[in-house]
Amino acid sequence: MIRAKTNEMERESSPEKVEQILQGAMQEFLAHGFAGTSMDRVAAAAGVSKATVYSHFADKEGLFKALIERLARKKFQLIFGSEPLEGEPLEVLRQVGTRALEQMSTDQEHSAFMRVLIGESGRFPELAQICVNSMIKPTLVALKKYLASHPELKIRDPEAMARILLGSLVHFHITQEVLHGENIIPMKGDRIIDTMIDLLEKSVRAS
């Protein structure tokens, strides 16, 4: 019969290969950056030939962009895409902050992603902007809305406050893990969070 010409193993194996390629690309690009990564090593890490890589992605740049866009979505959901915020505001903020810090330091991939994203933001500005749009902006908007929806917190500028909260945590992560400062300027992340909550609490009392 005619259908026999297409056996089970070869019909549309593309989706599978694409996934393999992206996995290999992730390993290599996150470890060595764009310029430091060779397509040979990507192919090897993916377990396919170089020609197969080029049959699914136009060139090195196309593969890189596809990977980063994919990772941007994934990272956002992993860190801030949890359950909706409910409960006593300051306690909620403490929990969210603690979870975010923990998630960032647990996930080794996250530090590597930040390195590549920031490191290549000069040569791939559109890519950086995609990440701003799909990670940073949604986080800031969610935080801002949460702060604004709790007038008892007496926050004049929720948008600016959201930046302060997020910035403090992300910068802490950058100095400690991304830049390997843990042993040079050691500090428990909880102190950042405690101090921020303390500030907010006093701010409520003073208003």
Partner DNA sequence: GTCTATACTAAGATAGAC
Partner DNA sequence: GTCTATCTTAGTATAGAC
**Which residues of this chain interact with DNA, rule CB under 7 A?**
10, 12-14, 16-17, 37-41, 48-52, 54-56, 59-61
Q: How far is the CB of 42 from its own copies (least distance, A)?
A: 15
Radius of gyration of the chain (CA): 22
Q: From the list DNA, its own copies, none, which binds 12 (C-beta under 5 to 8 Å, kind-based)? A: DNA
- Which residues are CB-contacts of 40 (< 8 A; sequence separation ≥ 6)? 50
Q: How far is the CB of 103 from its own copies (least distance, A)?
A: 17
The neighbour count for residue 13, using CB atoms within 10 Å, is 10
Q: From the list its own copies, DNA, none, which binds 96 (C-beta under 5 to 8 Å, kind-based)? A: none
The nearer residue to DNA, 62 or 167, going by C-beta atoms, is 62
Contact present, 79 and 49 (Cβ < 8 Å): no
H helices then E strands: how many in the chain?
A: 10, 0
Hunting for tokens 């590549």 — which residue is that? 116
The nearer residue to DNA, 10 or 126, going by C-beta atoms, is 10
Estimate the crossing angle of helix 89-106 against helix 158-173, to 10 degrees: 30
Amino acid at 1: M
C-alpha distances in angstroms, 72 versus 60, 119, 134, 187?
A: 18, 15, 7, 28
Q: From the list DNA, its own copies, none, which binds 136 (C-beta under 5 to 8 Å, kind-based)? A: its own copies
The nearer residue to its own copies, 18 or 148, going by C-beta atoms, is 148
Where do contacts with its own copies occur on this chain (CB under 8 A)? 31-36, 111-112, 114-123, 125, 128-129, 131-133, 136-137, 140, 156-157, 159-161, 163-164, 166-172, 174-175, 178-181, 184-185, 187, 191-192, 194-196, 198-203, 205-207
The nearer residue to its own copies, 66 or 170, going by C-beta atoms, is 170
Structure tokens at 194: 């405690």
